[in-house]
């Protein structure tokens, strides 16, 4: 069964637009996470950025206390955030790149260039009982390097696929890249997640990609919830995902 991790970052983005710097505000991303769990999602994803742009430290600790499913803690490979992760003990950490000017995470990690540093962090997290995923572009060099770090998962960056979805030629190119990367990762013993830009329209086309374990989706679900409510938005996404055959 293909699992759904709901990324609640954009719930926090809405809150921070009005209540930045305050210890209260709405909407509450933790309350949103609990709605998503009740609607049937398999995990909650949240990214504690170094600049604290959306999710705040208090959100992460409250999530750790209150959610009943799996906490996927997205983070940069920075000493401060690594120390938080080691104390927080989420079920899984997804290491992602961060750039100050971006609105949300764009692009994948350059694992090949940063192999030593990422392997060191992976070992620290593994020793603490935390699984590790690396957010990468569907590039054979990055897939191979990810396996060399000893990480259990990769998360394939589906942003280029989403951007080219309405361009048939571009869509096929990006799908081929994702298919090849997933097959390569599976052969190397890596489990394969995917995320970024996935929505209710492009999801079924992605099902040509084999070996997917979990999809992490946030913006599309939060956007849909404006019109139908968060529980129904999650339910609709889960219904679409039930057709995946692997």
Residue 239 designated active-site? no
Structure confidence by residue, pLDDT tens digits, 126-159: 999 999 999 999 999 999 999 999 999 999 999 9
CB 146 within 8 A of CB 111: yes
Instruction: Calculate the alpha carbon distances from 26 to 23, 104, 142, 160, 212 in Å.
Output: 11, 20, 39, 32, 34
Tens of pLDDT, residues 205-234: 999 999 999 999 999 999 999 999 999 999
Token pair for residue 227? 């019109």
Condensed to tens digits (0 to 9), the pLDDT of residues 8-66 reads: 999 999 999 999 999 999 999 999 999 999 999 999 999 999 999 999 999 999 999 99
Q: Which residue among 16, 37, 74, 131 is the active-site one? A: 74
Its pTM stands at 0.94
47 is a catalytic site residue: yes
Q: Which of 10, 47, 54, 157 is catalytic?
A: 47
Question: What is the predicted pLDDT for the residue at 102?
Answer: 47
Domains of the chain plus CATH, in order, are: 3-241 (3.20.20.70)
Question: For this structure, is 166 an active site residue?
Answer: no
79-88, 106-115, 206-215: least confidently modelled range = 106-115
């Amino acid at each position: 069964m293909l699992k759904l991790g709901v990324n609640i970052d954009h719930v926090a983005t809405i809150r921070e637009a009005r209540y930045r710097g305050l210890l209260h505000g709405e909407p509450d991303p933790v309350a949103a996470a609990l709605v998503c769990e009740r609607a049937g999602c398999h995990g909650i994803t949240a990214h504690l950025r170094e600049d604290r742009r959306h999710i705040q430290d208090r959100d992460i600790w409250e999530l750790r206390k209150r959610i009943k499913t799996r906490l996927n803690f997205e983070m940069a490979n920075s000493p401060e955030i690594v120390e938080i992760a080691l104390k927080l003990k989420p079920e899984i950490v997804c290491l992602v790149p961060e750039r100050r000017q971006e609105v949300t995470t764009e692009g994948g990690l350059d694992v090949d260039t940063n192999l030593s540093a990422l392997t060191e962090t992976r070992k620290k997290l593994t020793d603490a009982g935390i699984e590790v995923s690396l957010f990468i572009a569907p590039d054979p060099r990055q897939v191979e390097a990810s396996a060399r770090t000893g990480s259990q998962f990769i998360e394939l960056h589906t942003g280029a696929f989403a951007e080219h979805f309405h361009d048939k030629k571009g869509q096929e190119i990006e799908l081929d890249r994702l298919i090849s990367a997933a097959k390569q990762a599976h052969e190397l013993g890596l489990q394969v997640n995917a995320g970024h830009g996935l929505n209710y329209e492009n999801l079924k086309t992605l099902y040509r990609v084999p070996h997917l374990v979990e999809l992490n989706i946030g913006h599309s679900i939060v956007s849909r919830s404006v019109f139908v409510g968060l529980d129904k938005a999650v339910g609709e996404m889960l219904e679409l995902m039930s057709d995946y055959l692997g």
